A = this chain, B = another copy of it.
């Protein structure tokens, strides 16, 4: 359903629009991790996360007359910003449905990027029903956050870059650690690496208590999270792996790695000091896995995706304060 050809085609559409983010490193992090680490800094992507890739891929793949009517998305924030900016740069309207407890910065950024933001109550309202009603009324095209082939193809362009950049660094064998919510990024990267560097295995990383993908990979079938609130890693909290993404992950990725919230915060602080990048909690779980759960890795090198950097001042200060 998603092929390497779709990822290559997405990359052609993204050229000149998405950023080829750098692969960073630090001898200090290598020492903590006990192996060579290469950090794919997707927090430096437009809108502060990899989601711009999938948003641009999906919006640019639409037929012009369909695209002109506008797009709609539901998102806790990063997908929202990615779709909003992609729509604005295409000159078409966007409606974004967001939970009313999403970080203020993500809500205000999404509005500032030209989207109409519709807030809903995560506990009481059904976002799918709201989305279905609005898209029908206004004939908007729904851009799903992960279970959508063109979105996965867009995220997969991260994997094409990882394959190229690893070769530039002389890395011929590595595990690729990526934060995993619904699995759009991890499955897209897995497909790209299957075609380009088959020796690179993808390891999905998740926060404790929201390890649906790790458990699903272990049991071989889709498992749900018990709850959807209470994590600081808002960007990667989803009910369960996607129907399109999970079969890809089952075939190509895992086992998953689970980190604590405190480990994610410590990884944020180390990324600040050693890499000079800003990472949000959900975007830092793969770095936390590489730094603090190295015993679960096999290879001498790990490539770590820091997937987003949209974090409020207060949460960032909390990460820095942790090491006092």
A131 to B248, CA, bound (A): 61
What residue in chain B is nearest A309 (Cβ atoms)?
A: B276
Interface centre among A48, A273, A276, A279 (most CB of B within 10 A): A276
Tell me which of B22, B28, B48 contacts A44 (CB under 8 A).
B22
Q: Does A316 contact B (CB under 8 A)?
A: yes
Contact A48 B320 (CB under 8 A): no
Q: Does A275 contact B (CB under 8 A)?
A: yes
Encoded as 1 (CB less than 8 Å from any B CB) or 0, chain A from 169 to 184 comes to 0000000000000000
A 1-55 contacts with B by CB, 8 A: 19-22, 24, 27-28, 41, 43-44, 48
Q: Does A113 contact B (CB under 8 A)?
A: yes
Determine how many copies of this chain the complex contains: 2
A21 to B20, CA, bound (A): 11
Contact B112 A44 (CB under 8 A): no
What residue in chain B is nearest A88 (Cβ atoms)?
A: B27
Encoded as 1 (CB less than 8 Å from any B CB) or 0, chain A from 105 to 132 comes to 1000100110000000000000000000
Question: Inside 8 A of A309's CB, which chain B residues have their CB?
Answer: 276
How many residues in A have their beta carbons less than 8 Å from beta carbons of B? 31
A 284-324 contacts with B by CB, 8 A: 309, 313, 316-317, 320-321, 323
What residue in chain B is nearest A89 (Cβ atoms)?
A: B27
Contact B27 A44 (CB under 8 A): no
Question: Inside 8 A of A21's CB, which chain B residues have their CB?
Answer: 22
Question: Inside 8 A of A134's CB, which chain B residues have their CB?
Answer: none
Given contacts A19-B22, A27-B113, A113-B27, contact A48 B276 (CB under 8 A): yes
Contact B276 A316 (CB under 8 A): no
A316 to B273, CA, bound (A): 11
Q: Does A277 contact B (CB under 8 A)?
A: yes
- Chain B proximity of A47: nearest CB distance (Å): 9
- Chain B proximity of A165: nearest CB distance (Å): 11
Question: Inside 8 A of A19's CB, which chain B residues have their CB?
Answer: 22, 24
Contact A105 B22 (CB under 8 A): no
The 9 closest A-B pairs by CB, nearest first: A276-B309, A276-B278, A43-B276, A313-B320, A48-B276, A22-B22, A272-B278, A317-B317, A44-B276
Q: 23 pairs across A/B with beta carbons < 8 Å?
A: A19-B24, A20-B22, A22-B22, A22-B44, A24-B44, A27-B85, A28-B109, A28-B112, A41-B44, A43-B276, A44-B276, A44-B277, A48-B276, A105-B273, A272-B278, A273-B313, A276-B277, A276-B279, A278-B278, A313-B320, A313-B323, A317-B317, A317-B321
18 more CB-based (< 8 A) A-B contacts, given A24-B44, A317-B320? A20-B22, A22-B22, A22-B44, A27-B85, A27-B113, A28-B112, A44-B276, A48-B276, A105-B273, A269-B313, A272-B278, A272-B313, A276-B277, A276-B278, A276-B309, A313-B321, A316-B320, A317-B321
